[in-house]
Amino acid sequence: METKEVKYLLQRYFNGESSLAEERLLESYFLSGNVADELKEYTGFFSGISKLTENGTDEKLEVEIMDFIMKNEPIEKPKTRWLWQMVTGIAASIIIVIGGLLFFQQSEEQFKDTFDNPEIAYAYAEETLGYISAKYNKGLSGLANFNKLETAMEPMQKGVKPVNEYLEMIEKMNGD
């Protein structure tokens, strides 16, 4: 079987459009040992599917697999992201305008020093900045787990990428 055919069948398989005969063709291709280098990453997947089918169909297992896939499927939220960017941009603009107005209002008043001794002022400023820094670092520590989530999603995205690229190529050929 040619690599183009296999890629096409893979795309149909991952879109849920393949027939049982096409799935059997894919399974036999990946278990044959004559797999193209660019498709070797799917060999483990199809050998696992083959082992599952040898044990017979388990409806409970199928339901669990579909639930897992549906929970881990990435959800696109471009409208939410766009809305968030707009709201934060507007909020930043409002803060800048209000800050400018307050600055010009207070520029008429002369600032009075709160400390007579510069060493005491420096020590107080250092203590305040240390306090703020500790609170900021504590807030950022909760975000450390997002990096782990991105790392966990990389294999899933890597596995589907070649199939999506092939589908785009087919769509371009059909459009020309």
Mind listing the pLDDT tens digit for each residue in 80-100?
Answer: 777 888 889 999 999 999 998
Per-residue pLDDT tens digits for 155-169: 766 677 777 888 888
Assign 3-state DSSP to the chain and report helix, strand, coil percentages, each to 5: 80, 0, 20
Residue 159 within a domain: no
Residue numbers of the domain that contains 137: 78-154
User: What's the CA gap between 152 and 134, in Å, rounded?
Assistant: 30
Number of domains in the chain: 2
Mean pLDDT of the chain: 80
Same domain flag for 83 and 148:
yes
pLDDT bucket at 25, cuts 50 / 70 / 90:
confident
Residue 55 within a domain: yes
- 176: pLDDT strictly greater than 60: no
pLDDT at res. 157: 67
Same domain flag for 148 and 107:
yes
Same domain flag for 145 and 86:
yes
Residue 120 within a domain: yes
Same domain flag for 56 and 82:
no
Same domain flag for 66 and 83:
no
User: What's the CA gap between 172 and 176, in Å, rounded?
Assistant: 6
Residue 175 within a domain: no
Residue 169 within a domain: no
Give percent of the chain above pLDDT 70. Answer: 83
Same domain flag for 61 and 86:
no
Same domain flag for 45 and 9:
yes
Residue 161 within a domain: no
Residue 172 within a domain: no
- 125: pLDDT strictly greater than 70: yes
Same domain flag for 68 and 87:
no
Lowest mean pLDDT among 10-14, 21-25, 30-34, 147-151: 147-151
Torsion of CA 86, 89, 95, 99, to 10 degrees: -150
Same domain flag for 115 and 136:
yes
Predicted TM-score (pTM) of the model is 0.32
Same domain flag for 18 and 68:
yes
Record the tokens describing residue 85, joined without a space.
């960017």
Same domain flag for 112 and 60:
no
Residue 58 within a domain: yes
pLDDT at res. 90: 93
pLDDT at res. 98: 93
Per-residue pLDDT tens digits for 28-78: 888 887 888 788 888 888 777 777 666 655 677 778 888 887 777 766 666
